Amino acid sequence: MQKKNKLDKATIIKIAKGAMIAGGAVAIIYSLQAISALDFGIYTGLVVGLCAVVINSVKEFIKGE
């Protein structure tokens, strides 16, 4: 149980996970901006599908215990 003005190990882990998710979101946003500026021509559908698979994989990785 967490005491006032102290952080236990479980709370620190939760804070670290939240920080990693926030940092990952920032990285994804910057990456998507860079990708959207590129012209993939006939491969656009393939790139969009690949991005969807990667995002879903990351979500499942984070969700797992």
pLDDT in tens, 14-26: 888 888 888 888 8
Residue 34 domain boundaries: 9-63
For residue 30, what pLDDT is reported? Answer: 86
The count of domains in the chain is 1
* pLDDT tier, 39 (very low <50, low <70, confident <90, very high otherwise): confident
The pLDDT of residue 45 is above 70:
yes
In a domain, 3, yes or no: no
In a domain, 38, yes or no: yes
Average pLDDT rounded to a whole number, residues 41-58:
85
In a domain, 2, yes or no: no
In a domain, 1, yes or no: no
For residue 64, what pLDDT is reported? Answer: 66
Question: How many angstroms separate the CA atoms of 41 and 62, rounded?
Answer: 32
In a domain, 42, yes or no: yes
For residue 2, what pLDDT is reported? Answer: 64
The long-range contacts involving 56-64, CB below 8 angstroms and separated by at least 24 positions, are 58/24, 62/17, 62/21
